[in-house]
Amino acid sequence: MLKIENLHATVDGKQILNGVNLTIPAGEVHAIMGPNGSGKSTLSYVLAGRDGYEVTEGSVTFGDVDLLAMEPEERAVAGVFLAFQAPVELPGVGNANFLRTALNAVRRAKGEGEIDAMQFLKLARARMKVLNMSDDMLKRPVNVGFSGGEKKRNEMLQMALLSPRLALLDETDSGLDIDALKLVSDTVNSLRGPDFSALVITHYQRLLNHIVPDAVHVLSGGRIIKSGGPELAQELEKSGYGAIQAAAA
């Protein structure tokens, strides 16, 4: 489903990704771990098509299309979803309208009819109940004044409603208490299926106890230096990145 080959990318002229190779088959959830500054967020931004990130070499295929040739909006409606490490605040944009607009764009692309405000509220409220979010968060501007945990919940609400084919979660677990962590894991697990793939970026092995990944990759210096199963995350938790970095150098 997602095939990244020899991906090199720069930000502001600075080389960050140095030849990432990664394949996530349809239906699989892969985790990326790695030290601060290794390029994890950059990888997710490049995949989502964020402005300012320039691919200098390599390719990314999503399904059978060239992902890098698509505009960010086209990627989103094709089913690529990025949960930001730092969710953006959109003053003046109502959360409900924002979510419904995004959902309808995706529905149109799938050939499904748009849903109206009433239908949307019903859908959203049901999901919000599961995510332990209060109704008034729909009326407020997107993420404005939301606590860290509320922002992450809002990202999970968006993800659950959009039901993406590829979810990129950038440290969605950081700063969350155990209960919120469980909500994030439950949301990802509820989407799991043959048409859903995910790339979960995390610093903590504990998230991977709840979202058991099919594979774990270590990103260091802008490339994947080691891949393995869930046991690799446990090994990292115990011994850190040093030994693996030394072995790869």
Partner from Mg ion, ligand ADP, none binding residue 34, C-beta < 5-8 Å depending on class? ligand ADP
Listed in sequence order, the residues at least 6 apart from 31 whose beta carbon sits closer than 8 Å to its beta carbon are: 199, 200, 201, 202, 208, 211, 213, 215, 216, 217, 233
Q: How far is the CB of 177 from ligand ADP (least distance, A)?
A: 22
Closest separation in Å from C-beta 217 to Mg ion: 15
Query: Which does residue 153 bind out of ligand ADP, Mg ion, none, counting CB within 5 to 8 angstroms by kind?
Result: none
Among residues 41, 158, 187, 197, the one that binds Mg ion under rule CB under 5 A: 41
Asked if 172 is part of the footprint of Mg ion (rule: CB under 5 A), the reply reads no
Q: Is 220 in the site for Mg ion (CB under 5 A)?
A: no
Q: Tell me which residue has tokens 């040739």.
A: 69
Instruction: For residue 39, give both structure tokens.
Output: 């390029």
Cβ closest to ligand ADP, residue 36 vs residue 147: 36
Instruction: Give 109's contacts (C-beta < 8 A, 6+ positions apart).
Output: 77, 78
Shortest Å, Cβ 30 to ligand ADP: 16
Q: Which does 38 bind (CB under 5 to 8 A by kind): ligand ADP, Mg ion, none?
A: ligand ADP
The total of other beta-carbon atoms located within 10 Å of residue 99's CB is 21
Give CA separation, 207 vs 1, 144, 210, 231, 246, in Å: 24, 26, 6, 13, 26
Q: Which does 14 bind (CB under 5 to 8 A by kind): ligand ADP, Mg ion, none?
A: ligand ADP
Q: Nearest-CB residue to Mg ion? A: 41
